[in-house]
Amino acid sequence: MTQDDPLLTVENLHTSFHTDDGTVNAVDGVDFTVRRGETVCLVGESGSGKTVACESITQLFKRPPGEITAGSIVFDGIELTNCSERELTDIRGARISHVFQNPQNALNPVYTIGWQLLEAIELHQDVSRAAARAEAVELLDRVGISEASDRLEAYPHELSGGMKQRVMIAMALACQPDLLIADEPTTALDVTIQAQILRLLKDLQAEYGIGILFVTHDLGVVAEIADRVVVLYAGKVMERGTVYDVFETPCHPYTRALLDCLPGRGSLGGIPGSLPDPMAPPAGCRFHDRCPDAVPDCSTGDQPAFESVVGEDHEVSCLHYRTAAEPTVLESGVEPRRPSERTDGGDTHD
Ligand SMILES: Nc1ncnc2c1ncn2[C@@H]1O[C@H](COP(=O)(O)OP(=O)(O)OP(=O)(O)O)[C@@H](O)[C@H]1O
Ligand code: NI
């Protein structure tokens, strides 16, 4: 495996939930890759399938009701969809780490953070208590927690939300993962702390060469940290490409609608309308009934096949992006900022 081979390749992923009311096809034929050392963002409104796509990788959801019904997930040469529960548990602990939105729920309130961190370290490494303790201190120090050796004695409730998220990141790093999956890790934090945590992730990535799969509904956050972006809507990929291409030349009307929701860009109340019923998605493009550019052809057949557009691996699933995209982008006056120019954060639309 060379440096350029994807660390993670997800192809044609279908993940469903079988409920009393019917089957929800939460992820309905999704492809993306994550290379070593890069950050890929999954972005889309609430309910678009971002979390389910992430949880499919190591099958974190309950099975049943959840089930991967088709597709392939290859991590460093291993087909994860063929792995046993035991093999998945090993991979989850040792090579793929998760960081979640609410560190509260992930930390055990009755143990000190030192105890929890030592547990994580000792689970993955055959080291003495003293060595594990030294590593715990080093990890806390590395994630920006000052007076780390004193903090080991603290209980989760004694730490702020940002601190708790730093502890979670330290725990996620304890196994020296190749892939970090971070699902809205900063959404619960205020904007300043959010920016600090994003910077921390970028620094750690540069240091350890970790691939990061990052979930957010906030394109402001995407601009800060992504190398590449995958735009999801109702379980399908609408557009994907480098962050620069997607921001500079957004081709899918959905991507443009999301970009218009960035602070200062005009669209205040979010995108009009709502996601389709996940049990009965419409024919044609899933976005057609909310799309300002839709034509009758958009509501028949399947989600349009991907077409390549200008840029590196830039692809869009839209029948008429050429005719629709250019005038809209030019006339809207949207001036995509370079990622480095963004300092504000905050919610966009939901
Ligand atoms: N356990 C479950 N049972 C039934 N449906 C589920 C389950 N988990 C997720 N879903 C459905 O799958 C779809 C995708 O959900 P998912 O949580 O992946 O969205 P998301 O993009 O992560 O949204 P958010 O931004 O709110 O986190 C939604 O329609 C959701 O209701
Ligand atoms: Ni989610």
Q: Which ligand is nearest to the CA of 18?
A: 1
Does some domain include residue 341? yes
More confident residue, 268 or 13: 13
pLDDT > 90: what percent of the chain? 78
Domain assignment present for 77: yes
In this structure, is residue 100 part of a structural domain? no
pLDDT at 341 over 60: no
pLDDT at residue 329 in the model:
41
Whether residue 160 lies inside any domain: the answer is: no
pLDDT at 348: 39
For residue 94, how far is its CA from the centre of ligand 2 (angstroms)? 23
Q: Whose CA is nearest to atom 7 of ligand 1?
A: 17
**Domain harbouring 319, CATH code:** 3.40.50.300
ipTM reported for the complex, 2 dp = 0.99
pLDDT average, residue stretch 327-349: 42
146 located within any domain:
no
Q: Which ligand is nearest to the CA of 16?
A: 1
Structurally, the chain folds into a number of domains equal to: 1
- Check residue 2 and give its pLDDT: 56
- pLDDT digits over 112-122, tens only? 999 999 999 99
Taking residues 164-189, what's their average pLDDT? 93
Closest approach atom of ligand 1 to CA 44: 21
Q: Point out the ligand 1 atom lying closest to the alpha carbon of residue 217.
A: 25
- Whether 10 is covered by a domain: the verdict is yes
Residue 52 has pLDDT above 70, yes or no: yes
> Quick one: average pLDDT of 324-339?
43
- Per-residue three-class SS string for the chain: CCCCCEEEEEEEEEEEEEECCEEEEEEEEEEEEEECCCEEEEECCCCCCHHHHHHHHCCCCCCCCEEEEEEEEEECCEEHHHCCHHHHHHHHHHCEEEECCCHHHHCCCCCCHHHHHHHHHHHHCCCCHHHHHHHHHHHHHHCCCCCHHHHCCCCHHHCCHHHHHHHHHHHHHCCCCCEEEEECCCCCCCHHHHHHHHHHHHHHHHHHCCEEEEEECCHHHHHHHCCEEEEEECCEEEEEEEHHHHHHCCCCHHHHHHHHCCCCCCCCCCCCCCCCCCCCCCCCCCCHHHCCCCCHHHHCCCCCCCEECCCCCCEECCCCHHHHHHHHHHHHCCCCCCHHHCCCCCCCCC
Residue 8 lies in a domain: yes
In a domain, 35, yes or no: yes
Q: Which domain holds residue 267?
A: 1-95+177-350
Q: How confident is the model at residue 1 (pLDDT cuts 50, 70, 90)?
A: low
